[in-house]
Structure 1
Amino acid sequence: MKTLAITLALALSSFICNAQKNDTLATYTITVKINNTLNNNGHMLIGLHTTDTFMKTKGIQNSKAEIKDGKVEVTFKDVVPGEYAVMVLHDENDNNRMDFESNGMPKESYGISNNPMLFGPPTFSDAAFKVTNENIDMIIRL
C-alpha cells in the first residue's frame, strides 16, 4: 500500500512539474506588415530587437524580405514573452545597411514599431512593446 501511495505521489508531482514547465516554454509569433513602400526596389530588412540590440547590432531575429506591390509581410516565430521592438529598413540599393546623406539624414525609408513621430534617432522606449500571452500583428509605416 505504501508503494502504491508513493508511486501515485511521484506520478502526480511529475505531472504538475511538467504542466508548469510547459507554461514557461510558451512562445508566440509577431507578424509585421509594411504596406506603404515607395517602390519595389531592393529588399526590406526587418529586425526583432531587445533593449540590448536596438540600434547597436543585428536583432535577435532578422529577415530580408522581397517587396511585392509595395507590400511586405514577415513573421517572427518562437518569441518568448518579454519586451521587444521592431526596426524596418527599405534597403533600396541592396547593400544591407542604411545609407545617409552628408548631413546625417537617412537616404532610405525606415520605420519602427509603434509608428512614433520622431525628430531624431529612435530609442528603444519609442518602439517597445510587450509579448505576454498572445500572438501579435502589427503594421509599420515607413
Structure 2
Amino acid sequence: MKNFILSITLVLATAVGFSQVEDNGITITVTIDNVTNDNGKVLMSLHTSETFMKGKGIQDAESAIKDGKITITFENVLPGDYAILALHDENSNGRMDFQDNGMPKESFGMSNNVMLMGPPQYDDAKFKVEDKDLELNIRF
C-alpha cells in the first residue's frame, strides 16, 4: 500500500510540475514595413557576438511579405546582448545575392537601423535584452 501511495504522489507531483512550466525568456517582435515588393520572403536571424556574420543565428525565422510588411517574433530569448540581421530574399534561394562589384542585389537591414559603409558590425547592431518584451522596427 505504501508503494501505491508513493507512486500516486509521484505521478501527481510530476503532472503539477509539467503544468506549471513557464517561459524562460523575453519575446522580441520585429516589424519591417518598407519591403520594396512582395516577391520572395524575408529571412531574419537573432545573433550573439559569437554567431554574427558567421552563419545561422541562435534563432532564425522567415516570413512571407504582404503589402510590403512583415512581422517576426523571437520567443524565449534570455537576457543579454543580441543583434538582428534581416534579408529580403526576393528569389527565395536562401542567401544574399551580389552584383559583380560585390554590392548586394537584395535589400537587407539590421537592428538599430545603422547606415552601412561596408559589412555589418555587431557593435553597431547590438541591443540589450533585459526583463521585458521588446518591439523593434528594422528598415531596409
Structure 1 residue matching 2:124: 3-state secondary structure: helix
What's the CA shift for 1:64? 1.2
Match of 1:119 in 2: 117
What number of residue pairs does the alignment pair up?
A: 119
**Aligned runs of 1:52-131 on 2, under 5 Å?**
52-131=50-129
Q: What's the C-alpha RMSD, in Å, of the aligned pairs?
A: 1.3
Q: CA deviation at 1:56?
A: 0.5
TM-score normalized with structure 1 length: 0.81
Shift of 1:26: 4.2
In the alignment, the residues of structure 2 paired with residue 114 and residue 64 of structure 1 have an alpha-carbon distance, to the nearest angstrom, of 20
CA distance in 2, matches of 1:135, 1:114: 17
Structure 2 runs not aligned, ≥5 long = 1-22
Report what 1:29 is aligned to.
Answer: 27
Q: Any runs of at least 4 consecutive aligned residues in structure 1 with deviations exceeding 4 A, and if so which?
A: none
Identity of aligned residues (%): 56
Question: Which residue identity does 1:136 align to in structure 2?
Answer: L
Aligned partners of 2:59 and 2:126: how far apart in 1?
15
Provide TM-score, normalisation by structure 2: 0.83
Q: Can you list the C-alpha shifts for 1:75-113, whole angstroms capped at 9, x where unaligned?
A: 100000000000000000000000000110000000000
CA distance in 1, matches of 2:138, 2:62: 15
Task: Quote the offset at 1:139 in angstroms.
Answer: 0.3
Q: CA offset at residue 123 of structure 1?
A: 0.5
Deviation for aligned residue 1:63: 0.5
Matches of 2:72 and 2:36, distance apart in 1: 18
Counterparts of residues 41-60 of structure 1 (less than 5 Å): 41-60=39-58
